[in-house]
Each structure stands twice: as structure tokens, then as C-alpha cells.
Amino acid sequence: MSLIVEKYGGTSVGSPERIQVVAKNVAESVAKGDRVVVVVSAMSGETNRLLSLANEVNSKPSNRELDVLVSTGEQVTIALLAMALHSLGVGARSYTGPQVKILTDNIHGKARIVHIDSDKMMNDLNNDQVVVVAGFQGVDEGGSITTLGRGGSDTTAVALAAALKADECRIYTDVDGVYTADPRVVSEARRLGRITFEEMLELSGAGAKILQLRSVEFAGKYNVPLRVLSSFEGGPGTLITYEESSMEQPLISGITANMDEAKITVRGVPDKPGIAYSIIGAVSDAHINVDMIVQNVGSDGLTDFTFTVSGADLEKSVELLTPVVDKLDAQTVIGDTNLAKISVVGIGMRSHAGVATTMFQALADKSINIQMISTSEIKISVTVDKEYAELAVRTLHKAFGLEHLTNDLL
Ligand code: ADP
Ligand code: ASP
Ligand code: MG
């Protein structure tokens, strides 16, 4: 008898009919003899609807109250799914994140899970109940509701699977696995039968929203067997693997575009020790993640300092940097959202040179200008003008021959 955590995303629970389909899928796992914990997202569009409601009453709503508001989306789906399971004769009990209880830190809007109480869930499972848990939310030590960031239900699922030592965590979504690129952008994209944990980490970090980055981090930390599957059709999906295969690894496994990155440039900074610390420190002290960083070569003792943050953090970052610009005697701080970060990811890069050359040449052939470049051992990222994002992804997909990739060797 296996213990399985199944997670269904927004589109998968987007209507009463879809919720019934999900209930049937869960009932099938139960009929096989599995013990099942289900994590659900809000119905598709609901989180966005709630966020825009907030903006109608306050253009700068408090993060604490936003969490109280947006966590309600998932509360609707857990109850509906439990009811749908009941109508199939399957015992089920639903819980919000705080009820479980999923304890988090108090960084509203991007809280991190610090502890999960598995007793209540285990008790229900032992009484033949399906446990339905609201994704994306938890509670801090003070009792305030917190949320885990957009796409956070993936993280709830993987964290529950880790806490319960589940045999598998299945992420059911609206595509049938992880592809070489977003199949909505590249029609020739191929489903990967398996992908290494490290590649998935880089793809998620680079903005492929199929799995929230934190969920992949959790999976790696606790070795959670993780699979991405479709809730609309059958199929083996994509398995995230932890061992280096002895088979030859593809040079490139995936290409992704992150449209949600913003660039901040501090102009005319006196070039002296400590500027990187003053600028980046001011932003990261406010729990804002900094991604690519470029410090240009100075002239006349002045330099420009450029970095990227998530689009949602742009306004706050510029606000935080305004006093820093004064203190450093720099000229100005400028925010820019007209960019996309394009990343190519592949474990084969470790042993092959020339990936960057192929990438830059392919972009040059299409006259796509590269603004910033950053690399890791298995990833190369560049930023380009937003309007060229999709063209860049398609161009690179072709340049690396990914339409021919097959690794369905499970
Ligand atoms: P859910 O609501 O189930 O959490 P998401 O919208 O968060 O689903 O993630 C699934 C979407 O991720 C897909 O519909 C697809 O457009 C997008 N996506 C981006 N990159 C990839 C990729 N490499 N492989 C598969 N899907 C991808
Ligand atoms: N409902 C949340 C969101 O839309 C969490 C999730 O779906 O994973 O971001
Ligand atoms: Mg998602």
C-alpha cells in the first residue's frame, strides 16, 4: 500500500466538472489501495481575481491582508473536492494550510515552510480518509495566515510528501509533463521522459512555471520522488531523477523565457569598495531576490551597476534604492520592465564547450540583441528585449535540435 501525494493545479480544478474528473482520478488511486493526500490550487483565474479586488480598495494593500484574501481561493476548492469525493462514496476530509498545520515564517506573500504537523493527516489516512489540503498557504508562529508565492501549491505538495515520507508526489497539471520548452510557445517542443533534479532546478529558477522553484528545492533536499503529469489525459509524464544516468545526457534539455524579470540600473556610482554591498544589501535585506548582476567598467571614476529582480519587486526596489543613491552620491536609479530572460539548461554542458557560441550565434542570426549574460555550470541566461522573447526561444530550440530529442527510456 503506497502513500501518494497528488497535486492538481488551477486549470485542473477550474470548473465543477473538472473537480469531478479530479475526484474520479483520486478515487482510482484509492481503489488501487493507495493512501492519498490531495493538494489543490484555487480554481483557475481565482487568485488573480482576488488580487485585483484588493487593488480596487487599496493600491498598496498590506501583505498580511493580501494573504488573508488570496488564501480563500484554495479553501473553496478543498471543500468542493471533498464533496465530489463523497458523492463517489470516497471518505475525505479537507483542511486549510493553517489547520494542518503548515507552519511558515512570517514573510507574507513568499513565506517559507518551516514545519509540518503530519499527525492529523496520518490519523485520517489510517481511518481510510482521503486528506484534501489547500495548497499555497500556511500559518506563522503568531497565527497569521501566510502564502507561499505564486505557484506555491507545488511546494505544499512536495513539502507534504517529504513530511509524510510519501512514495510519490504527482503534480497533475494542464500539460502531460515537462517539455524542452513551453509547449504553448514552441509547438515542436518534446516531452521529456525524465529530467535530472539539477536541470529542473535550473529550469524552474529560470522561470519555467511548470514547477515552483521552491518545490524543486524541497524535492532535492528530501529526495522526494516527483512526477509531472496531465490531469486531462493519461501517460507517464516526466520523472524528476536524482541519480546521474550512465547514459549520455543531452547537451541541452530545456529552454525557457522569464517575462517577469525587471532590470534596475544605478547610474553614475562613484567606483569604490562597498558599492555592490550597499546596493544589493539594501534590496536583499527586504527579502527581495536579486538575480543577474552586472557592474560595468567605470570611466572617470564612475560606474553603472545593473541587476534584475522579479517584476513584482521592481517598485519596492527602486524605492529602497532612492536613499542609497543619495548616500553613495550616485546619479540616479532607473527601472526597466521591457526585458525577458532567456535560458538554456542542460547537464551535458558540463562536458561540452561551445554552447554559448551556438546560443549567441543563433540570436545574432535573428538580429536579437543581447543585453546581459550570466552562466552557471549547466545554464546560460541572457536578457533580450521583451518583444523578441518568443522568437528567441523558438530560434534556440531549433539551433540545439531539440525537436528531435527523445529520452523516454523509463
Ligand atoms: P498549474 O495551474 O497546474 O499549476 P501552471 O500554469 O503553473 O499549472 O504550469 C503549467 C504551465 O507551465 C503549462 O501550461 C505550460 O504553458 C507552462 N510551461 C512553461 N514551461 C514549460 C515546460 N518546459 N514544460 C511544460 N510546461 C511548461
Ligand atoms: N493559487 C495560487 C496561484 O495562482 C497558487 C497555485 O496555484 O499554485 O499562484
Ligand atoms: Mg503552477
Q: What is the DSSP string of 124-141?
A: HHHTT-EEEEETTEEE-T
Here the contacts of 299-304 (C-beta below 8 Å, separation 24 or greater) are 301/270, 301/271, 302/268, 302/269, 302/270, 302/271, 302/331, 303/268, 303/269, 303/271, 303/275, 304/265, 304/266, 304/267, 304/268, 304/269
Superfamily of domain 3-173: Acetylglutamate kinase-like (3.40.1160.10)
- Higher-confidence residue of 245 and 48: namely 48
- Higher-confidence residue of 353 and 34: namely 34
Q: Is the CB of 166 under 6 A from ligand 1?
A: no
| Over residues 125-150, mean pLDDT | 98
> So what's the pLDDT on residue 245?
64
Peptide bond into 101 cis (omega under 30): yes
Mean pLDDT score of the chain: 95
Name which residue sits closest to atom 4 of ligand 1, judged by CA: 9
Instruction: Name the percent of the chain lying above pLDDT 70.
Output: 98
> So what's the pLDDT on residue 365?
97
> So what's the pLDDT on residue 1?
83
pLDDT-derived band of residue 244, with 50, 70 and 90 as boundaries?
low
pLDDT-derived band of residue 184, with 50, 70 and 90 as boundaries?
very high
Q: Which phi and psi (to 5°) does residue 243 adopt?
A: -100, 140
Probe target for ligand 1 pocket from 46, 182, 342, with the most ligand atoms within 8 Å of CB: 182
pLDDT-derived band of residue 246, with 50, 70 and 90 as boundaries?
low
* Residue 214 near residue 155, CB atoms below 8 Å: yes
> So what's the pLDDT on residue 202?
96
pLDDT-derived band of residue 410, with 50, 70 and 90 as boundaries?
very low
How is the chain split into domains, by residue range?
Answer: 3-173
Please state the atom number of ligand 1 nearest to the C-alpha of residue 184.
16
- Higher-confidence residue of 242 and 25: namely 25
Question: pLDDT tens across 300-340, in order?
Answer: 889 999 999 999 999 999 999 999 999 999 999 999 999 99
Q: Is the CB of 199 under 6 A from ligand 1?
A: no
Distance 11 CA to ligand 3 centre (A): 9
Considering only CA atoms, which of 315, 334, 313, 316 is closest in space to residue 269?
334
Name the pTM for this structure: 0.93
Distance 10 CA to ligand 2 centre (A): 7
| Residue 115 identity (one-letter amino acid) | H
Question: pLDDT tens across 98-132, in order?
Answer: 999 999 999 999 999 999 999 999 999 999 999 99
Q: Does residue 409 surpass a pLDDT of 60? A: no
> So what's the pLDDT on residue 408?
64
